[in-house]
Structure 1
Amino acid sequence: MAKSTHDWLAIGALARRTGLSVSAIRFYEEKGLVSSIRNAGGQRRFARSDIRRLSFVLIAQQLGLTIAEIQAVLAGLPEGRTPSRADWARISAAIRARIEAKLAELSRVRDHLDGCIGCGCLSLDLCALYNPDDRVARKGAGPRILMGDRAD
């Protein structure tokens, strides 16, 4: 079914509605997060549903999702119509699980970081509390305790 001209937004109008710059919208289009059609004059036109898609992109980025993760989520949404409540419920459940995992990770880091900073040595090879005899070094490079390894 053909859409009337009122169903499409020029890129400038979409920018005003979303608060994004025109160049940001072009970037997101290049990444496949939104798509446009061209009018007879060759100008981009976007569906009104792209207002919500781009708003979701901004929210998802604030939550720490990568462009690739956002692409995967948006690939499951219908083209050409505003996503339904059920669509968003499915997406938010998946993102909620990701946020819960991130919160658990941040809590673990916070708990270990407090102890480490409170110690004063700030060195895992000298730390008698978290890393006696530099045992963590045997587990590999990097901040092993903050990554979830235990010193014992």
Structure 2
Amino acid sequence: MASKPERFLSVGQLAARCGVAVSTLHFYEAKGLIRSQRNPGNQRRYPREMLRRVSVIKVAQRLGIPLASIHAALQTLLEGRTPTAADWARLSGQWRAELDERISRLTQLRDQLAGCIGCGCLSLEACPLRNPCDELAGEGAGPRLLDGGESL
């Protein structure tokens, strides 16, 4: 007969099950993404629900979602409840627009960069990244044409 799984996991057990380093779990906990309790020996013990929460964090990070956005999304879950498939659908839906915007910006940057490489900046008249006479200085520092401003 199979034994009943433990309700709490040690930091090492959680790290092994999730495929992350112990230091990653400590970092997530310091950022408020996961939580633990202390046992009588003052060792961290993680509720089993943290298995799925760490998985959600890992997938979101792989998608390029910033930790601040992940934290904000996880705050919408009831404390201590395991994220469900419905939770993931809602969270991923929130991140979809952010990812679509990032993909659009990266595609635009890639296409503009290809134009720059083509000219090699040997001809300022033909270069799509040119800024003759520093006309864009009044708009602020940085690559104004590459940073979501005017399309080239």
What TM-score results when the alignment is normalised by the length of structure 2? 0.84
- Identity rate, percent: 46
Unaligned runs of 5+ in 2: none
In structure 1, the residue matched to 2:13 is 13
SS of corresponding position for 1:76? coil
Question: Residues of 2 paired with 1:150 and 1:120: CA distance?
Answer: 21
Please show how residues 30-109 of structure 1 align to structure 2 within 5 Å: 30-109=30-109
Instruction: State the shift of 1:90 in Å.
Output: 0.7
Give me the CA root mean square deviation.
2.3
Decide whether aligned partners of structure 1 residues 102 and 151 sit closer, same or farther in structure 2, where only a CA change above 3 A counts: closer
Q: How many residues align?
A: 146
Unaligned runs of 5+ in 1: none
Question: Residues of 2 paired with 1:120 and 1:16: CA distance?
Answer: 49
Instruction: State the shift of 1:137 in Å.
Output: 3.9
Letter in 1 for 2:124: C
Letter in 2 for 1:100: D
